[in-house]
Amino acid sequence: GANVDRFVQEAPCDVVVFKSAGMKPKLDRILVLNAPEWHVSYATGYAILLAKKHRAKITILSAVQTDLELEKERGYSARLAEMCRTHGVPFEEKFVKIRNIVDMVVEEAKGYDLLVLGASSEWRLTQFAFGPMQDQIARRTDIPMLMVRKVRRKEERVPLRSPLPTPAVPPAQPA
């Protein structure tokens, strides 16, 4: 609603909005909407934590309008897939070329237990809490949803690695 949107937009900190109404006790399928935004890496980190807790599978959905976008999205999707692989979470990548991305995501999300979105960089420039597409999807989706916006200081660089800690690997035992 308008109050949450205003609070989210003006918050000088990281924001996670978790719409959990109707959430099942156990999640089986989590849908992560891929995008070139660095917020999506953080959103995927939360999806991975939930997937590990519930032994759920993550689907990384790339919805694009052009072939050029599709090629770029493959790279971003591979980055998110590597995060899942690193943390031992089962995943699949799904690529869809479609005219209306919002309609497609709203329809696709109906088959999942949780939809995870990262903010777009446009949230700073507009009246949107997370971005024009993200806000439309949130208003039109009834399934549980997790939305993430990471705020960084100007001097911070975009992380190249997963925001999650790397799992500890036990030292090799001598033979």
Contact 118, 39 (CB under 8 A): yes
Verdict on whether the full-model pTM lies above 0.85: no
What pLDDT does residue 3 have? 62
Report helix angle 101-109 to 132-140, nearest 10.
40
Residues 118-146 pLDDT 10s: 876 654 555 665 666 788 888 899 999 99
Residues 46-64 pLDDT 10s: 999 999 999 999 999 998 8
Exposed/middle/buried for residue 144 (C-beta within 10 Å: 0-12, 13-18, 19+): buried
The domains of the chain, with CATH numbers, are: 17-149 (3.40.50.620)
Radius of gyration for the chain, computed over Cα atoms and rounded to the nearest angstrom: 16
* pLDDT in single tens digits along all 175 residues of the chain: 566 666 667 677 788 888 888 999 999 999 999 987 667 888 999 999 999 999 999 999 998 889 998 988 999 999 999 999 999 999 999 999 988 889 999 999 999 999 999 876 654 555 665 666 788 888 899 999 998 887 755 534 555 555 566 555 555 555 5
